Chain A
Amino acid sequence: MSINKILQVRGMSKRFGDLVVLDNIDIDIPIGSHTTVIGKSGIGKSVLLKCMAGLLEPDAGIVEIDGKKGSFPHCSYMFQQNALFDSFNVFENIALPLRETQTLKREEIREKVEQIIEKLDLNSATYKYPAEISGGMKKRVALARALITNPEIILFDEPTTGLDPLRKYGVFDMISTYRKKFGFTVLMVSHDVPEVFEITDQIAWLEGGKIAFWGTPDELYADTPAPLKPFLNPKLETSL
């Protein structure tokens, strides 16, 4: 077992009918790092994340965390649309994993939830329902719910979908800031190229079911693979 890699994917494959989405993929995510998976829409980025989180059963391959196969004891997942429970208020949403998976007393749960609400500046929304708060706040609530169990890894599935540029940078800033603050590892799927390069340590480019590029943003810019160039600098084929 390697010491400086906590998440190891080996030989992961997934197909839907005849469509091969993941083809024998190997990935190593170093401790505390931020890795972003980029690629065209529908290429299988979210499938990769869901296979890693156990939401989809891969056809082949193993996932190891600290050498433990298959399970993610210290992993949280942030969904594209946040997946907050709309009939629970913010406090209840954040407390949910603690209430349901741990044997803490009511006061201990309250204390932990209030701490994270304080850290993520959600005081004004504590007893509001998801429908009553802004999109940015919903993201923070989802992050608070992901952080409340002190995960080592958080998987982000397109966390900036549908946000304007200002809010998009706000979310990136939030992820970057809290990663430094809480020390978790980030594996993110994103379409926000090149903005996401400002906060990520590694980039994995998924193409044709394979990781076609793996490296830092600097390495990517220094030696961009030819097929990736149009993806990084898209141009209109027709001019007005």
Chain B
Amino acid sequence: MIYKLGNNGIKLISELGELTLFALSSIKSFLPQNHRLEKIVRAIYEIGVRCVPITLIVGLFTGLVLGLQLFYVLTKFSSESLLGQAVALSIILEIGPVFTAIMIVGQAGSALSAEIGIQRNAEQIDALSTMKINPIGFLVSPRVLAALICFPILTAAFNIIGIWGGYLSGVAMLGVDSGAYWTRIFESVSGQNVADSMLKAFVFGFLTTLVCAFQGYYTHIKASVPGSRGVSETTTRAVVISSIVILAADFVLTSFLLVR
């Protein structure tokens, strides 16, 4: 039992060390690359543009549900007029960055992990090395940079559409005063709140893209079985670990941001 615990602890520390080195390498490898802009634009399309529909749909329905739920809670305290404030702060500070990150991981993160894993199995990553092309710089760095751009933008879009969703359910369906809804939002949401939301998105983007790329890149080592089942295993693991990382990082960031 103690042996097993210790062994798993060492494995975890070792994995964190590998991930840190991978992160440093992906940062360091970007500048020496040729055609950087072209690669970033392509990665922005893969991570950002493709995730717009899912982000907007989830944002809208999250706002709609939040409007209903918070209206139900606030009526108990005769405070329906606070609905706008409650919806906006919940979405901007917590739900927006977390849900957006989870949606992007589900769509783009899993695709990234699977793509790199397949490239590993097809010896394409080895082929890059023999061509003197840095595989991490070629495959990972542009994606990490694109994630740093896309996550905050998609989070902002989620926040806006979520607040509109809350407006639809709270104001259009349940009859909360429209003026009160918007006034409360403008009064309560500060620039700092928006900045905190963007900071979270930035951190989630960096961490999840690294985790997904890392799992794919080392699929030949990390998976318990080789081949396509191995890629499937590491892709699933990438999504699961990323989701946990998002929630854990959210807790840490929120702790610091709230006590500030």
Contact = CB atoms under 8 A, between A and B. Distances in A.
Interface string B139-178: 0000000000000000000000000000000000000000
Interface residues of A, number: 22
Question: Which 5 residue pairs are nearest across A and B when measured between Cβ atoms?
Answer: A77-B130, A83-B127, A83-B123, A97-B131, A100-B133
Contact of A96 (B33, B129, B131): B131
A147 to B, nearest CB: 12
A86 interface: yes
A99 interface: yes
Contacts of A85: 119, 124
A79 B132 contact: no
Nearest to B137: A100
A97 B124 contact: no
A35 interface: no
B116 to A, nearest CB: 12
Interface string A65-84: 00000000001110111011
A101 B133 CA distance: 7
B135 to A, nearest CB: 11
A77 B132 CA distance: 11
Nearest to B118: A86
A124 interface: no
Contacts of B126: 50, 55, 77, 79, 83
11 contacts: A53-B130, A55-B126, A55-B129, A55-B130, A77-B126, A77-B127, A80-B123, A83-B127, A97-B133, A99-B35, A100-B133
* Residue of B35, B132, B133 ringed by the most chain A CB atoms within 10 A: B132
B122 A101 contact: no
B190 interface: no
B193 interface: no
Contacts of B131: 76, 96-97, 100-101, 145, 149
B200 to A, nearest CB: 33
A54 interface: yes
B34 interface: yes
B71 interface: no
A86 B122 contact: yes
B138 A100 contact: yes
A80 B122 CA distance: 10
Given A77-B127, A77-B130, A100 B122 contact: no
Interface string A21-34: 00000000000000
Nearest to B122: A83
Contact of B132 (A55, A99, A101, A103): A101
A149 B129 CA distance: 14
A84 to B, nearest CB: 8
Interface in A169-210: none
A83 B127 CA distance: 6
A53 B138 CA distance: 19
A79 B133 contact: no
Nearest to B138: A100
A97 B133 CA distance: 7
Contacts of A81: 122-123
A100 B119 CA distance: 17
Given A53-B130, A54-B130, A86-B122, 18 more contacts: A50-B126, A55-B126, A55-B129, A77-B127, A79-B123, A79-B126, A79-B127, A83-B127, A85-B124, A96-B131, A97-B131, A97-B133, A99-B34, A99-B35, A100-B35, A100-B131, A103-B34, A149-B131
Interface in A23-64: 50, 53-55
Contacts of B123: 79-81, 83
A17 to B, nearest CB: 15
A86 B129 CA distance: 17
Interface string B23-52: 000000000011100000000000000000
Contacts of A79: 123, 126-127
A80 B127 CA distance: 11
A57 to B, nearest CB: 12
Interface string A86-103: 100000000011011101
Contacts of B34: 99-101, 103
Contacts of B127: 77, 79, 83
Contacts of A53: 130
Contacts of A80: 123
Contacts of B35: 99-100
A221 B99 CA distance: 70
Given A77-B127, A103-B34, A96 B122 contact: no
